Amino acid sequence: MSDTTEYLARVPLLQTMGARELERLAERTRRVHFRSGADIVEIGAPGRSLYLVLDGLVQVIYPSPSVDFELARLGVGDFFGEMALLNDKPRSATVRALTPVDVLALDKEDFRRVVSDTPGLALELLAALSVRIRNADEQISTLSDQAVRDPLTGLLNRRAFQERLHEEVDRARRYDSRFALVIMDVDHFKGINDTLGHIVGDEVLTWVGRILQEHTRAADSPFRIGGEEFAVLCPASDATMAGHAARRLIAVVGEAKPPTEHDLRVTMSAGYAACPEHGLSFEDVYGTADGALFRAKGLGRNQVGDPAAAT
Ligand code: CMP
Protein backbone atom coordinates (compact mmCIF):
# COMPACT_ATOMS: atom_id res chain seq x y z
CA MET A 1 0.00 0.00 0.00
CA SER A 2 1.46 3.40 -0.98
CA ASP A 3 1.94 6.24 1.55
CA THR A 4 -0.84 8.16 -0.15
CA THR A 5 -3.27 5.24 0.11
CA GLU A 6 -2.39 4.77 3.78
CA TYR A 7 -3.09 8.43 4.39
CA LEU A 8 -6.39 8.29 2.46
CA ALA A 9 -7.47 5.30 4.56
CA ARG A 10 -7.29 7.52 7.67
CA VAL A 11 -9.28 10.44 6.18
CA PRO A 12 -12.74 10.49 7.86
CA LEU A 13 -14.43 11.58 4.62
CA LEU A 14 -13.19 8.42 2.88
CA GLN A 15 -13.75 5.93 5.69
CA THR A 16 -16.38 3.91 3.81
CA MET A 17 -14.12 3.25 0.81
CA GLY A 18 -12.41 -0.10 0.31
CA ALA A 19 -8.64 -0.63 -0.23
CA ARG A 20 -8.95 -1.01 -4.04
CA GLU A 21 -11.06 2.14 -4.35
CA LEU A 22 -8.60 4.07 -2.22
CA GLU A 23 -5.68 2.90 -4.34
CA ARG A 24 -7.44 4.05 -7.49
CA LEU A 25 -8.24 7.36 -5.87
CA ALA A 26 -4.62 7.79 -4.70
CA GLU A 27 -3.46 7.49 -8.30
CA ARG A 28 -5.67 10.43 -9.23
CA THR A 29 -4.32 12.81 -6.57
CA ARG A 30 -1.22 14.99 -6.68
CA ARG A 31 0.73 16.29 -3.73
CA VAL A 32 1.19 20.07 -3.55
CA HIS A 33 3.15 22.14 -1.04
CA PHE A 34 2.18 25.67 0.05
CA ARG A 35 4.33 28.01 2.11
CA SER A 36 2.88 29.59 5.24
CA GLY A 37 0.65 32.58 4.35
CA ALA A 38 -0.16 31.35 0.82
CA ASP A 39 -3.77 31.50 -0.39
CA ILE A 40 -4.53 27.96 -1.54
CA VAL A 41 -8.05 28.87 -2.63
CA GLU A 42 -9.21 32.42 -3.36
CA ILE A 43 -12.78 33.59 -2.92
CA GLY A 44 -14.47 34.27 -6.27
CA ALA A 45 -12.02 32.14 -8.27
CA PRO A 46 -13.29 29.18 -10.30
CA GLY A 47 -12.98 25.84 -8.51
CA ARG A 48 -10.79 23.19 -10.13
CA SER A 49 -9.73 20.87 -7.30
CA LEU A 50 -10.65 19.44 -3.93
CA TYR A 51 -7.91 19.46 -1.29
CA LEU A 52 -7.18 16.99 1.49
CA VAL A 53 -4.84 18.28 4.20
CA LEU A 54 -1.81 15.98 4.56
CA ASP A 55 0.15 18.22 6.89
CA GLY A 56 -0.19 21.68 8.48
CA LEU A 57 -3.06 24.00 9.31
CA VAL A 58 -5.27 26.18 7.10
CA GLN A 59 -7.70 28.97 7.87
CA VAL A 60 -10.99 29.40 5.99
CA ILE A 61 -11.60 33.15 5.71
CA TYR A 62 -14.47 35.31 4.52
CA PRO A 63 -12.66 38.53 3.59
CA SER A 64 -14.53 41.80 4.21
CA PRO A 65 -13.30 45.37 3.60
CA SER A 66 -12.73 46.01 7.32
CA VAL A 67 -11.59 42.65 8.70
CA ASP A 68 -11.04 39.10 7.53
CA PHE A 69 -13.59 36.87 9.25
CA GLU A 70 -12.42 33.36 10.19
CA LEU A 71 -15.01 30.71 9.35
CA ALA A 72 -12.98 27.67 10.37
CA ARG A 73 -9.55 26.15 10.88
CA LEU A 74 -8.81 22.83 9.24
CA GLY A 75 -5.93 20.41 9.86
CA VAL A 76 -4.64 16.97 8.95
CA GLY A 77 -7.39 14.71 7.56
CA ASP A 78 -9.75 17.61 6.79
CA PHE A 79 -10.81 18.61 3.28
CA PHE A 80 -11.75 21.89 1.58
CA GLY A 81 -12.68 23.23 -1.84
CA GLU A 82 -15.65 20.87 -2.29
CA MET A 83 -18.37 23.53 -2.59
CA ALA A 84 -17.35 25.12 -5.90
CA LEU A 85 -16.92 21.65 -7.40
CA LEU A 86 -20.37 20.54 -6.30
CA ASN A 87 -22.35 23.67 -7.21
CA ASP A 88 -20.34 25.05 -10.16
CA LYS A 89 -20.14 28.44 -8.48
CA PRO A 90 -16.99 30.46 -7.70
CA ARG A 91 -15.07 29.69 -4.49
CA SER A 92 -17.15 30.70 -1.45
CA ALA A 93 -14.20 31.63 0.78
CA THR A 94 -10.45 32.05 0.83
CA VAL A 95 -8.40 29.24 2.33
CA ARG A 96 -4.99 30.37 3.62
CA ALA A 97 -2.06 28.30 4.89
CA LEU A 98 -1.35 29.17 8.54
CA THR A 99 1.76 26.97 8.53
CA PRO A 100 3.63 25.26 5.69
CA VAL A 101 0.94 23.01 4.27
CA ASP A 102 0.95 19.83 2.19
CA VAL A 103 -2.24 18.84 0.46
CA LEU A 104 -3.46 16.16 -1.88
CA ALA A 105 -5.34 17.78 -4.76
CA LEU A 106 -8.06 15.91 -6.62
CA ASP A 107 -9.36 17.39 -9.87
CA LYS A 108 -13.01 18.33 -10.23
CA GLU A 109 -13.98 15.55 -12.68
CA ASP A 110 -12.29 12.85 -10.56
CA PHE A 111 -13.94 14.21 -7.42
CA ARG A 112 -17.39 14.24 -8.98
CA ARG A 113 -16.91 10.74 -10.36
CA VAL A 114 -15.84 9.28 -7.02
CA VAL A 115 -18.77 10.99 -5.26
CA SER A 116 -21.32 9.59 -7.69
CA ASP A 117 -19.72 6.10 -7.63
CA THR A 118 -19.44 5.87 -3.82
CA PRO A 119 -22.69 6.36 -1.87
CA GLY A 120 -20.80 6.06 1.45
CA LEU A 121 -18.55 8.97 0.48
CA ALA A 122 -21.55 11.06 -0.59
CA LEU A 123 -23.14 10.48 2.82
CA GLU A 124 -19.92 11.42 4.67
CA LEU A 125 -19.72 14.54 2.53
CA LEU A 126 -23.30 15.51 3.40
CA ALA A 127 -22.62 14.92 7.10
CA ALA A 128 -19.50 17.14 6.96
CA LEU A 129 -21.38 19.83 5.03
CA SER A 130 -24.23 19.82 7.52
CA VAL A 131 -21.71 20.42 10.34
CA ARG A 132 -20.28 23.36 8.34
CA ILE A 133 -23.76 24.81 7.78
CA ARG A 134 -24.59 24.47 11.48
CA ASN A 135 -21.33 26.19 12.49
CA ALA A 136 -21.95 28.97 9.98
CA ASP A 137 -25.49 29.46 11.38
CA GLU A 138 -24.07 29.80 14.89
CA GLN A 139 -21.51 32.33 13.67
CA ILE A 140 -24.20 34.37 11.92
CA SER A 141 -26.33 34.37 15.05
CA THR A 142 -23.38 35.48 17.23
CA LEU A 143 -22.48 38.23 14.76
CA SER A 144 -26.01 39.52 14.46
CA ASP A 145 -26.29 39.58 18.26
CA GLN A 146 -23.03 41.56 18.48
CA ALA A 147 -24.40 44.05 15.94
CA VAL A 148 -27.31 44.96 18.21
CA ARG A 149 -25.65 44.73 21.64
CA ASP A 150 -23.73 47.35 23.58
CA PRO A 151 -20.49 45.64 24.63
CA LEU A 152 -20.12 47.60 27.91
CA THR A 153 -23.51 46.95 29.52
CA GLY A 154 -24.68 43.96 27.49
CA LEU A 155 -27.93 45.85 26.81
CA LEU A 156 -29.40 46.20 23.34
CA ASN A 157 -27.94 49.23 21.51
CA ARG A 158 -29.36 52.29 19.76
CA ARG A 159 -29.73 50.48 16.45
CA ALA A 160 -31.83 47.75 18.08
CA PHE A 161 -33.83 50.43 19.90
CA GLN A 162 -34.73 52.24 16.69
CA GLU A 163 -35.78 49.00 15.03
CA ARG A 164 -37.89 47.93 18.01
CA LEU A 165 -39.54 51.33 18.40
CA HIS A 166 -40.51 51.31 14.71
CA GLU A 167 -41.90 47.77 15.13
CA GLU A 168 -43.92 48.76 18.21
CA VAL A 169 -45.38 51.78 16.39
CA ASP A 170 -46.30 49.58 13.39
CA ARG A 171 -47.95 47.04 15.69
CA ALA A 172 -49.90 49.75 17.53
CA ARG A 173 -51.19 51.13 14.20
CA ARG A 174 -52.09 47.76 12.77
CA TYR A 175 -53.57 46.02 15.79
CA ASP A 176 -54.70 48.94 17.97
CA SER A 177 -52.21 47.80 20.59
CA ARG A 178 -50.38 50.11 22.98
CA PHE A 179 -46.90 50.47 24.41
CA ALA A 180 -44.89 52.95 26.42
CA LEU A 181 -41.36 54.29 26.31
CA VAL A 182 -39.14 55.51 29.14
CA ILE A 183 -35.94 57.44 28.38
CA MET A 184 -33.40 57.99 31.14
CA ASP A 185 -30.17 59.92 31.43
CA VAL A 186 -27.46 59.77 34.14
CA ASP A 187 -27.26 63.20 35.80
CA HIS A 188 -23.92 65.04 35.62
CA PHE A 189 -22.27 62.05 33.97
CA LYS A 190 -19.60 64.20 32.32
CA GLY A 191 -18.58 65.40 35.81
CA ILE A 192 -18.14 61.76 37.00
CA ASN A 193 -15.98 61.00 33.96
CA ASP A 194 -13.94 64.19 34.30
CA THR A 195 -13.28 63.95 38.04
CA LEU A 196 -13.08 60.17 38.63
CA GLY A 197 -12.03 58.95 35.18
CA HIS A 198 -13.52 56.84 32.42
CA ILE A 199 -13.09 53.55 34.27
CA VAL A 200 -15.40 54.73 37.06
CA GLY A 201 -17.71 56.22 34.42
CA ASP A 202 -17.90 52.81 32.73
CA GLU A 203 -18.57 51.12 36.10
CA VAL A 204 -21.50 53.48 36.68
CA LEU A 205 -22.94 52.75 33.22
CA THR A 206 -22.59 48.99 33.73
CA TRP A 207 -24.29 49.29 37.10
CA VAL A 208 -27.17 51.30 35.64
CA GLY A 209 -27.52 48.67 32.91
CA ARG A 210 -27.80 45.95 35.54
CA ILE A 211 -30.43 47.91 37.50
CA LEU A 212 -32.49 48.36 34.33
CA GLN A 213 -32.31 44.65 33.65
CA GLU A 214 -33.20 43.62 37.19
CA HIS A 215 -35.96 46.17 37.87
CA THR A 216 -38.03 45.96 34.70
CA ARG A 217 -40.70 43.41 33.81
CA ALA A 218 -39.68 40.37 31.78
CA ALA A 219 -41.68 41.79 28.84
CA ASP A 220 -39.85 45.16 28.97
CA SER A 221 -36.65 45.73 26.99
CA PRO A 222 -33.91 48.00 28.31
CA PHE A 223 -31.48 49.64 25.85
CA ARG A 224 -28.38 51.82 26.03
CA ILE A 225 -29.15 54.39 23.35
CA GLY A 226 -26.29 56.83 23.82
CA GLY A 227 -23.30 57.60 26.06
CA GLU A 228 -25.23 57.91 29.34
CA GLU A 229 -28.70 57.62 27.88
CA PHE A 230 -30.92 54.58 28.37
CA ALA A 231 -34.40 53.59 27.25
CA VAL A 232 -36.95 51.00 28.28
CA LEU A 233 -39.66 49.84 25.88
CA CYS A 234 -42.73 48.57 27.71
CA PRO A 235 -45.15 46.59 25.52
CA ALA A 236 -48.85 46.60 26.44
CA SER A 237 -48.39 49.60 28.76
CA ASP A 238 -49.96 53.05 29.00
CA ALA A 239 -48.63 56.40 30.21
CA THR A 240 -49.59 55.78 33.84
CA MET A 241 -47.68 52.50 33.91
CA ALA A 242 -44.67 54.09 32.23
CA GLY A 243 -44.70 56.95 34.78
CA HIS A 244 -44.65 54.38 37.63
CA ALA A 245 -41.84 52.43 35.98
CA ALA A 246 -39.77 55.59 35.44
CA ARG A 247 -40.21 56.77 39.05
CA ARG A 248 -39.37 53.31 40.39
CA LEU A 249 -36.16 53.08 38.33
CA ILE A 250 -35.06 56.57 39.36
CA ALA A 251 -35.70 55.72 43.01
CA VAL A 252 -33.66 52.49 42.80
CA VAL A 253 -30.71 54.30 41.22
CA GLY A 254 -30.90 57.17 43.73
CA GLU A 255 -31.09 54.89 46.77
CA ALA A 256 -28.44 52.33 45.78
CA LYS A 257 -24.74 52.99 45.69
CA PRO A 258 -22.67 52.15 42.62
CA PRO A 259 -20.06 49.45 43.30
CA THR A 260 -16.98 51.69 43.13
CA GLU A 261 -14.41 52.48 45.79
CA HIS A 262 -15.45 56.15 45.63
CA ASP A 263 -18.13 57.70 47.78
CA LEU A 264 -20.33 58.29 44.79
CA ARG A 265 -24.06 58.93 44.54
CA VAL A 266 -25.67 58.75 41.15
CA THR A 267 -29.05 60.10 40.12
CA MET A 268 -30.96 59.90 36.87
CA SER A 269 -33.61 61.94 35.11
CA ALA A 270 -36.35 60.40 33.01
CA GLY A 271 -39.08 61.16 30.53
CA TYR A 272 -41.75 58.89 29.17
CA ALA A 273 -44.46 58.69 26.55
CA ALA A 274 -47.11 56.22 25.49
CA CYS A 275 -48.58 55.13 22.20
CA PRO A 276 -51.28 55.94 21.11
CA GLU A 277 -51.80 58.55 23.89
CA HIS A 278 -48.94 60.75 22.68
CA GLY A 279 -49.16 59.94 19.01
CA LEU A 280 -48.86 57.12 16.53
CA SER A 281 -45.46 57.75 15.01
CA PHE A 282 -41.85 57.13 16.00
CA GLU A 283 -41.26 60.89 16.15
CA ASP A 284 -44.34 61.56 18.33
CA VAL A 285 -43.49 58.92 20.91
CA TYR A 286 -39.74 59.50 21.01
CA GLY A 287 -40.12 63.30 20.83
CA THR A 288 -42.62 63.36 23.72
CA ALA A 289 -40.45 61.18 25.97
CA ASP A 290 -37.34 63.17 25.06
CA GLY A 291 -39.14 66.47 25.72
CA ALA A 292 -40.25 65.19 29.14
CA LEU A 293 -36.67 64.15 29.92
CA PHE A 294 -35.47 67.61 28.92
CA ARG A 295 -38.00 69.18 31.30
CA ALA A 296 -36.88 66.88 34.14
CA LYS A 297 -33.31 68.09 33.62
CA GLY A 298 -34.45 71.72 33.50
CA LEU A 299 -36.38 71.32 36.77
CA GLY A 300 -33.30 70.21 38.68
CA ARG A 301 -32.72 66.54 37.64
CA ASN A 302 -33.29 63.36 39.71
CA GLN A 303 -36.94 63.34 38.66
CA VAL A 304 -39.39 62.26 35.99
CA GLY A 305 -40.59 64.87 33.49
CA ASP A 306 -44.26 65.30 32.66
CA PRO A 307 -45.00 64.25 29.07
CA ALA A 308 -48.21 66.30 28.93
CA ALA A 309 -46.31 69.50 29.71
CA ALA A 310 -43.67 68.64 27.16
CA THR A 311 -46.04 68.43 24.18
P1 CMP B 1 -15.20 26.25 -1.96
O2 CMP B 1 -16.33 27.22 -1.97
O3 CMP B 1 -14.96 25.44 -3.17
O4 CMP B 1 -13.86 27.09 -1.61
C5 CMP B 1 -13.75 27.65 -0.32
C6 CMP B 1 -13.88 26.54 0.67
O7 CMP B 1 -13.86 26.92 2.03
C8 CMP B 1 -15.26 25.88 0.56
O9 CMP B 1 -15.35 25.28 -0.71
C10 CMP B 1 -15.24 24.98 1.75
O11 CMP B 1 -14.41 23.87 1.55
C12 CMP B 1 -14.55 25.90 2.75
N13 CMP B 1 -15.56 26.57 3.59
C14 CMP B 1 -16.40 27.57 3.25
N15 CMP B 1 -17.19 27.90 4.30
C16 CMP B 1 -16.83 27.10 5.32
C17 CMP B 1 -17.26 26.95 6.66
N18 CMP B 1 -18.24 27.73 7.19
N19 CMP B 1 -16.67 26.02 7.44
C20 CMP B 1 -15.67 25.24 6.93
N21 CMP B 1 -15.22 25.34 5.65
C22 CMP B 1 -15.79 26.24 4.87
Question: Nearest Cα to 256, choosing from 241, 271, 244, 268?
Answer: 268
Rounded to the nearest whole angstrom, what is the distance from the C-alpha of residue 154 to the centroid of ligand 1? 32
Of all atoms in ligand 1, which is nearest to the CA of residue 136?
A: 18
Return the HEC string of 166-195: HHHHHHHHHHCCCEEEEEEEECCHHHHHHH
259: Cβ contacts below 8 Å, ≥ 6 apart: 203, 207
For range 185-194, the mean pLDDT: 96
Strand order in the sheet with 49-55: 30-34, 101-107, 49-55, 79-80
Kindly list the protein residues whose Cβ atom lies closer than 6 A to any atom of ligand 1. 41, 47, 60, 71-72, 80-84, 91-93, 95, 132, 135-136
By CB atoms closer than 10 A (0-12, 13-18, 19+), residue 153 is: buried
Rounded to the nearest whole angstrom, what is the distance from the C-alpha of residue 53 to the centroid of ligand 1? 13
For residues 211 and 256, what is the distance between their CA atoms, to the nearest angstrom? 10
pLDDT value at position 310? Answer: 45
114-171: per-residue pLDDT in tens? Answer: 999 999 999 999 999 999 999 999 998 998 889 999 999 999 999 999 999 999 999 9
Of all atoms in ligand 1, which is nearest to the CA of residue 139?
A: 18
For residues 30 and 36, what is the distance between their CA atoms, to the nearest angstrom? 19
Q: How many CB atoms lie within 10 A of CB 23?
A: 16
For residues 297 and 291, what is the distance between their CA atoms, to the nearest angstrom? 10
Ligand 1: residue of 132, 133, 138, 141 to mutate (most ligand atoms within 8 A of CB) is 132
Do the beta carbons of residue 63 and residue 71 sit within 8 Å? Answer: no
Does 42 have pLDDT greater than 90? Answer: yes
Ligand 1: residue of 48, 60, 70 to mutate (most ligand atoms within 8 A of CB) is 60
DSSP one-letter string for 217-255 = -TT-EEEE-SSSEEEEEEET--HHHHHHHHHHHHHHHHH
**Using CA positions, which residue lies closest to atom 14 of ligand 1?**
93
Rounded to the nearest whole angstrom, what is the distance from the C-alpha of residue 91 to the centroid of ligand 1? 8
Percent of the chain with pLDDT over 70: 99
Q: How many CB atoms lie within 10 A of CB 5?
A: 18
225-247: per-residue pLDDT in tens? Answer: 999 999 999 999 999 999 999 99
284-299: per-residue pLDDT in tens? Answer: 999 999 999 999 999 9
Is 228 a known active-site residue? Answer: yes
6-25: per-residue pLDDT in tens? Answer: 999 999 999 999 999 999 99
Ligand 1: residue of 89, 92, 143 to mutate (most ligand atoms within 8 A of CB) is 92
pLDDT value at position 311? Answer: 45
Rounded to the nearest whole angstrom, what is the distance from the C-alpha of residue 93 to the centroid of ligand 1? 6
Which of 82, 124, 228, 229 does the annotation list as catalytic?
Answer: 228
Do the beta carbons of residue 9 and residue 19 sit within 8 Å? Answer: yes
Do the beta carbons of residue 285 and residue 278 sit within 8 Å? Answer: yes
265-281: per-residue pLDDT in tens? Answer: 999 999 999 999 999 99
Beta bridge partners of 304: 270
Q: How many CB atoms lie within 10 A of CB 161?
A: 26
Rounded to the nearest whole angstrom, what is the distance from the C-alpha of residue 92 to the centroid of ligand 1? 6
For residues 66 and 257, what is the distance between their CA atoms, to the nearest angstrom? 41
